[in-house]
Amino acid sequence: MNRKFEVVVIGGGIIGCSIAYYLAKEKIDVAVLDSQKVGGKSTSAAAGMLGAHSEYKEFEHLYPFVRSSQLLYKELVHEIKDKSGIDIELKEGGILKLVYSEEEKRALQPILAHSTVEWMTASDVIEKVPVNASIIGAAYLKEDVHVTPTSACNGLSKTAQLNGASIFEYTEVAEIKKQDGHYVIHTAKGEFEACYVVVASGVWSNRFFQQLGLTNQIIPVKGECLAVINEGKPLDHTLFYNQNYIVQRNNNKLVIGATQKWNDWDERPTIGGIEEIIQKAKEMMPSITEMKIDSYWAGFRPMTFDGYPFIGAHPHGDNLFFAAGHQRNGILMAPATGKMIKDMIVGNQVDKTWVQAFQVDRRNKISL
Ligand code: GLY
């Protein structure tokens, strides 16, 4: 078995798999190491909304980055399907961001100014989806489509593999060490060698920051979700209000999410959390009360001190990169992150605004 690679990516969530995808496409010899199966942790817990507009407040000056990532999915859906046969289940329909008052509508003016977003009156919304009749309307974010995250992650990893990447599942990394000008990655299954290392382990990146002399930290914001069976007409548009949502999967299931519990490392959902999301979902769509429960779960959103991911080189350079901390928007930002890391490794030009916003040692440069 080959254990020497040009690049080793640590973490096989959607971020790590996207990095491998873009590197393999350039014929770069890349391996992904994951302690479990690819896409098995935070990726599998995500709803998969590509919310460049619904999460606009978080990313206003980085809109070009998140928008470029959203647009990359339009290519990926075909590239992945053609090469690997995997359907990432990109579902059109977009998001209806429900609005209950004039004040809420005013707060949405920055996104309503986008040509891709339109205002919809209450009667138009009610005609399309079975929502609470007390709305005054909705911002229709038609470009905020969604994918099924595990399918997207598997599609990226499988396509990367078919383009020459190696994927090592159930291969937990213990330590990364620099030795004689290259990296030795110690794992439970022996050593790997690489010229470049990329840490893309979400909330599990902390020990690598420490090992590599950095004080960066990522904490989990636990999200609890529920899936119910929709026996009625499929929901043509995702419903969104105050960071809660109801998303139609490509089958007969609706995903209802999600709580936001800071620094909660317990992966089990709670009764209180599920109760909270059911209440919020009922306020958006009263008819969910009658729907049967399919499953429930929780996942960790990887949160940084300022809400932006760390994407870039270690402050000492040294062919060492990080791509972690994508909080609520890992699925959305995966393609642009993968492409950015690939560009940095091959020495292509990368947008300076993005480099600065995501740089790994920015802590001292941003006033808290
Ligand atoms: N992006 C949806 C969530 O984090 O719940």
For 147-171, the pLDDT digits (tens) are: 999 999 999 999 999 999 999 999 9
Q: What is the pTM of this model?
A: 0.97
Q: How far apart are CA 321 and CA 347, in angstroms?
A: 13
Residue labelled with tokens 């990364």: 176
Whole-number percent of the chain with pLDDT over 90: 94
End-to-end CA distance of the chain: 48
Q: How far is CA 332 from CA 46, 49, 56, 247, in A?
A: 11, 7, 12, 15
The CATH code of domain 4-86+149-218+305-358 reads 3.50.50.60
Q: What pLDDT, on a 0 to 100 scale, did the predictor assign at position 368? A: 36
With beta carbons less than 8 A apart as the criterion, state whether 192 and 264 touch. no
- Most informative mutation of 59, 242, 245, 297 for ligand 1 (most atoms within 8 A of CB): 245
What are the extents of the domains in the chain? 4-86+149-218+305-358, 95-143+219-303
Give the mean pLDDT of 110-128: 96
Atom 1 of ligand 1, nearest CA residue: 328
Protein residue closest via CA to atom 4 of ligand 1: 328
Q: Assess contact for 286 and 247: CB atoms under 8 A.
A: no
Assess whether the C-beta atom of 202 lies below 6 angstroms from ligand 1.
Answer: no
Note the pLDDT of residue 367. 42
Which of 56, 224, 242, 243 to mutate for ligand 1's pocket (most ligand atoms within 8 Å of CB)? 243
CB 280 near ligand 1, within 6 Å: no
Span 115-123, average pLDDT: 96
The whole-number pLDDT of residue 96 equals 98
Burial class (CB in 10 A: 0-12, 13-18, 19+), 296: middle
Model pLDDT for residues 217-261, shown as the tens digit of each residue: 999 999 999 999 999 999 999 999 999 999 999 999 999 999 999
pLDDT in tens, 326-368: 999 999 999 999 999 999 999 999 999 999 999 999 975 444 3
Look at ligand 1, atom 3, and give the residue with the nearest C-alpha. Answer: 328
What is the average pLDDT score of the chain?
96
Separation between Cα atoms, residue 161 and residue 149, nearest integer Å: 18
Whole-number Å distance between alpha carbons of 249 and 239: 13
Residue nearest to atom 2 of ligand 1 (CA): 328
Q: pLDDT value at position 364? A: 52
Is residue 56 very low, low, confident or very high in pLDDT (cuts 50, 70, 90)? Answer: confident
What local confidence, expressed as pLDDT, does residue 265 receive? 97
Q: What is the pLDDT, as a whole number, of residue 145?
A: 98
Nearest CA to ligand 1 atom 5: 258
| Range 95-143+219-303 classified under CATH 3.30.9.10 | yes
| Predicted local confidence at residue 366, as pLDDT | 42
* Triad 50, 53, 337: Cα angle to 5°: 50
Range 122-130 average pLDDT: 97
Tokens 């420490």 map to which residue?
Answer: 210
Whether 263 and 220 have beta carbons less than 8 Å apart is answered as: yes
193 token code pair: 């060698």
pLDDT by residue (tens digit) across 60-113? 889 999 999 999 999 999 999 999 999 999 999 999 999 999 999 999 999 999
Q: Is 258 in the pocket of ligand 1 (CB under 6 A)?
A: yes
Percent of the chain with pLDDT over 70: 98
Q: How far does the centroid of ligand 1 lie from the alpha carbon of residue 184, in Å?
A: 35
Average pLDDT over residues 272-299: 98
